[in-house]
Structure 1
């Protein structure tokens, strides 16, 4: 689904239209966003509990650092698709401003295709990592002794969500490029 162009504010204060091929947040991105929000709230609760327990009772949770690290990795990977569809990644706008609509659409299509190729490569390697940890019976050398495949499994899930968002964006890019070509030929 495409979003309708809406004005956005740039740092320079110029109002610009959103790209016609910008995809809307779907259920996958929404689920990833909710999981990120849950992870962040969980980290806040753990840190607050650790502070209260240490200062008032002289006791530590002992595993807050480990769990916080796992949650931080989860937020990092699960937020990829949400950040992509919301346009939060860096853009080189001075190049886009010099391109016409067709050039802009083509540049976006090429960039999204390259990003998908690298994301698929990352997904493949992350799946190999998780399977190796699972098959090898790897555990964290910590007090919890967490089987490493459990926190590692979040990484390919977040990357797969990004790949899904990129595929949706590429489909929208192709439609945008076709429409730009028709407009430039006066059809």
Structure 2
């Protein structure tokens, strides 16, 4: 526009996208804003549907845990080798990688805490808390329904 290059804007924009996305994952998890396809689960008896939902959270946590471990390893490796971006700005790449890895670790902690709270609620037989933590809400006709985020 001004006949000048804005070098680095796309580089730092990419870093900002990756870090804010990873940091926002835990928040979206607690707000039940992640996409969940539950057409079949909604047809199951309530208890069986909840078992499948808890299993899905545990599987999700396992995948995110492995991703977080590898993100931390990548960050450590970049730090050890003194890696820089291959752009004119020569940004030490471990800075954005560290924030990205921290966001994934935070997401894993959020899932682990949710699983612990679900276990505690199950031991106390607190059905309402379990339903809240799994994102269930009552529909107008009294049937269990998945909460629609942003329309509440």
Q: How does 1:26-175 map to 2 (within 5 A)?
A: 55=1, 57-175=2-120
Q: Which runs of 4+ in 1 moved over 6 A?
A: none
Q: How far is the alpha carbon of 1:173 from its aligned partner?
A: 2.6
Output the TM-score relative to the length of structure 1: 0.61
The answer for unaligned runs of 5 or more in structure 1 is: 1-54, 181-187
Q: CA deviation at 1:114?
A: 1.1
In the comparison of the two structures, how many residue pairs are matched? 125
SS of the equivalent of 1:82 reads: helix
TM-score by length of 2: 0.74
Kindly report the root-mean-square deviation, in angstroms, between the aligned alpha carbons of the 2 structures.
1.6
List gaps (5 residues or longer) in structure 2: 128-152
CA offset digits 1:19-58 (Å, max 9, x no partner): xxxxxxxxxxxxxxxxxxxxxxxxxxxxxxxxxxxx3x43
How far does the alpha carbon of each residue in 1:127-153 deviate from its partner, in whole angstroms, 9 at most, with x for none?
110011000011111121101101111
Tell me if the contact between 1:70 and 1:151 (Cα under 8 Å) persists in the aligned partners.
Answer: yes
